[in-house]
Amino acid sequence: MAVLLAFISLLLVPLNPACFTDPAQEKVSPIINLKLGSRKKMLTWNSRRNVTWQECTIDAPLDPPISQTPQVAEDGTYFCTFSNSVLHRGATLTVNVTSEGHEFKATLTFCNSGREGSGAVNFSCLIYNVRFLNCSWAQGPAAPADVRYHLYMWASLHGNVSECAQYVLDPTGTRVGCHFDQLGEPQTTDNYFFLVNGTSNETDIQFLDFTPFVATEIEKYNPPANLTARNNGSYYVIQWDNPVTRFNISSHVLYYELDIQRKGSFSKTDPVFQRGENRNEYLMPSSAVTGVHTVRVRVRHVYGDTWSEWGPAQPFGFPEKSFTGFLVVLIGLVVGAAALSSIGLMFLCKRFSLKQKLFPPIPQVKRELAGSFTPTREMAWDGDNPSAGSQEPEDFLTVEEMKLFAGREAEVVGPAPALNPYENITAVRGRPGQ
């Protein structure tokens, strides 16, 4: 009997609830207050029970899933940051934990609210002239006419957010760009974060976010300075200086393109690419340089895609003595010689013509006419000379006729007057003494 009473009294003792786990409690997830900060892309939550393992994951369209181990803030909040992901296409975020031997999972689906195609497109930014930053974008294809875009920028994950102060407008007054002229002190670790959203009286506007812009890779450098080309006998030594940059970077992350062309050539030479050095130099064999060449240089970051403008072209080499040039000179000499010959021939012809006018042939008495004169006297011959009558009559000119010819030689203009060949001529035949 006593044993039975003791057993009943044991059944009436209240059970300690701490010694047992409520089956309903085992099915309740320890994950609470799951939130996403879209600007910093930070997923946060709290846990109402101890957990032994946790993992967070983001799965966005066009990108592979990214998982990481959460961190714990000072207030006990767990968080994961997905700065290298984009959210404007939507995303699914999950948190997996293990608590008291059980696995739990919480899911958050993020959507970019607003009319499809209303957000900005074709966004790009670049740093130029060391301290200026320009960003540009285009209006979304489905954006309403009254859309008003807003650009926000911050220089680090936990940095202060600032809105653009100098917007660039298109002809219709829509914001399509922004200019920043105060970038602060440069740091080689700078990453620029951007977010473009918008407002409209007609509809909600979708936002546009990006992965971080690495500041050192979006700088558009000035063209390389002090480009020179000199010949040391064996090579043409082409040298140039590294550009002045916003950030203190190694010259080895600079990437150069050299454009070397031969003047007057219709074919183009392939460009030369070269990594930066402390002393930039390119050697071109002198034997490969025929004629005058030009060289120009531009530069970009080795991991970037924004080239500087081309620097001024630097000429080098010597003009080539080509066969064409020699042929042109030869033809010129031949033409010149022909012209001189023609001029000389014309001069001789004119001179001969003038001589004919100044010194016409002296008329001679024809033998037929001379035989008709009546001889008045015979000439005497000495010794063995032919006897009288054996010689043909000889012609003689009088003194008056000689004077007449001398007077004609002094005339320089006009044709010579005709002379009577028989005027004042005395033909004498016969022997002396008759």
pLDDT tens string for the chain (434 positions)?
A: 443 333 333 333 333 333 333 344 457 899 999 999 877 899 999 999 999 999 999 999 989 999 999 999 999 999 999 988 999 999 999 999 999 889 999 999 999 999 999 999 999 999 999 889 999 999 999 999 999 999 999 887 777 888 999 999 999 999 999 999 878 788 777 889 999 999 999 999 999 999 999 888 899 999 999 999 999 989 999 999 999 898 888 899 999 999 999 988 888 889 999 998 878 999 999 888 888 999 999 999 998 889 999 999 999 988 765 545 555 566 777 777 777 777 877 766 666 565 555 556 655 555 544 454 444 444 444 445 554 444 555 555 555 655 555 555 555 445 545 545 445 444 444 444 44
At residue 176's C-alpha, the angle toward residues 174 and 178, to 5°, is 120
pTM of the model: 0.62
Question: Rounded to 5 degrees, what are φ and ψ at 410?
Answer: -80, -10
Q: DSSP E strands: which ranges in 139-190?
A: 148-154, 162-163, 167-169, 175-180
Question: Rounded to 5 degrees, what are φ and ψ at 107?
Answer: -125, 140
Q: First CA to last CA across the chain, in angstroms? A: 226
Contacts of 234 (CB under 8 A, 6+ apart): 285, 286
The token pair that represents 237 in the structure block: 């030594």
**How far is the CA of 93 from the CAs of 55, 61, 63, in angstroms?**
11, 12, 13
Spatial CA neighbour of 86 closest among 178, 168, 206, 175 = 206
**Within 10 Å of residue 48's Cβ, how many Cβ atoms?**
12
